[in-house]
Structure 1
Amino acid sequence: MGLLFAKLWSLFCNQEHKVIIVGLDNAGKTTILYQFLMNEVVHTSPTIGSNVEEIVVKNTHFLMWDIGGQESLRSSWNTYYSNTEFIILVVDSIDRERLAITREELYRMLAHEDLRKAAVLIFANKQDMKGCMTAAEISKYLTLSSIKDHPWHIQSCCALTGEGLCQGLEWMTSRIGVS
């Protein structure tokens, strides 16, 4: 009887949490998604549209939508916003020239009604590259400290090695059930 109860309980408690992974093209979104899924680097090409995968972390199910970041696709990001609990914004830490565009896209998303309750995880990717900006520099440039109505966390990472990715997922799982 205990095993049956445990199985039934897990069916009702393992709800999925919708996550959108966004960022400019070539930031490392798809590489991060497949690091989560397979713990290995997968050769990727630019995402046209989206990829979706279920990632399970300690019995927590995340339905992760990796959305293409090319300029022509960004205007359609809002079609993915409904029921989103987490935004993962992937920043290319060596792409200083386009950080202003990343900031514009971030604040446009945060102003959207469908994302008013979403928590934001920023991955400062490509920390293995010479001359990259630190997470603190990116945080300052994106003025993250001004975000008061969304829980947020910035995490240094390297999508190729997986370094820092688990810490980001741990932050997300710690946010579940917190309102």
Structure 2
Amino acid sequence: MYTLVSGLVRELLKRDEYNVLILGLDNAGKTTLLEHTKIKFTSGYTGKPFHKITATIGLNIGNISTLGVNLLFWDLGGQDELQSLWDKYYAECHGVVWVVDSLDEARVDDSRVAFEKMIRNEHMRGVPLLFLCNKQDMVGCLNVNQIREAFSDSASKMGSRDCSVRGVSALHGQGIKDAIVWLAQCVIKNNETRPPINKDD
């Protein structure tokens, strides 16, 4: 009887899990975004001190639960030499968060080039995209409309997918919670095209 009941409980507690890539150039604020996402969605989690966050060499992984599912985030290093590794993760991802440094106008075009290479990969077809213009709290940053204009040539390469462009401050957590909930809704809606992974709680 115990085996039957415990098996039933495990089945009831099973959650769908979705893999989400956090991509963008180095210093865009991807790791800070991941830390603040964990803070927003994980009770009791205080995170690491933001001033101690350094450039990601390789990857960082974080997990949150929202809307009855788990989101497993893969924060991949954005240096030129690491971008060649991104496509190893595309086939198994369910959503993408693209982060742009709104304060670094000189590298916006570099970000656009990397973005287009990613979005045109055949494994990324139809994958929901959350496009975040980070550091909107900083004086002198490009606003969301200016960044949208800088990426305007990319629009024709997007294909059919859910997409949202938003301004955020990863450092202060502004705009993050609503953005992540939107992405969770999209990956759930897209689960026939990209089925989730079933995990036990």
Corresponding residue for residue 30 of structure 1: 31
Corresponding residue for residue 13 of structure 2: 10
User: 2: CA distance between counterparts of 1:52 and 1:171?
Assistant: 20
Residue 111 in structure 1 maps to residue 125 in structure 2? no
2:169 to 155, 158, 171: 158
User: 2: CA distance between counterparts of 1:10 and 1:137?
Assistant: 45
The one-character-per-residue Cα deviations of 1:37-69 (angstroms, maximum 9, x if unpaired) are: 134553211101101111112322111000001
Larger radius of gyration: 2
* 8 Å Cα contact 1:155/1:167 also seen in 2: no
SS at match of 2:188: coil
Gaps of 5+ in 2: 1-6, 41-46, 191-201
* 8 Å Cα contact 1:123/1:157 also seen in 2: yes
Identity in percent: 31
Q: Which deviates further from its counterpart, 162-171 or 54-63? A: 54-63
Task: Kindly report which structure 2 residues correspond to 1:131-146, keeping only aligned pairs within 5 A, or say none.
Answer: 131-143=140-152, 145-146=155-156
> What is the RMSD computed on CA atoms of the aligned residues?
2.2
* 8 Å Cα contact 1:139/1:145 also seen in 2: no
User: 1: CA distance between counterparts of 2:8 and 2:83?
Assistant: 45
* 8 Å Cα contact 2:21/2:73 also seen in 1: yes
Partner amino acid for 1:62? L
Larger relative contact order (C-alpha < 8 A, sep ≥ 6)?
2
TM-score by length of 2: 0.80
Task: Kindly report which structure 2 residues correspond to 1:67-82, keeping only aligned pairs within 5 A, or say none.
Answer: 67-82=76-91
User: 2: CA distance between counterparts of 1:15 and 1:174?
Assistant: 13
CA positional deviation for 1:7: 5.8
Gaps of 5+ in 1: none
* 8 Å Cα contact 1:53/1:64 also seen in 2: yes
2:109 to 100, 113, 136: 100
* 8 Å Cα contact 2:71/2:184 also seen in 1: no
TM-score by length of 1: 0.89
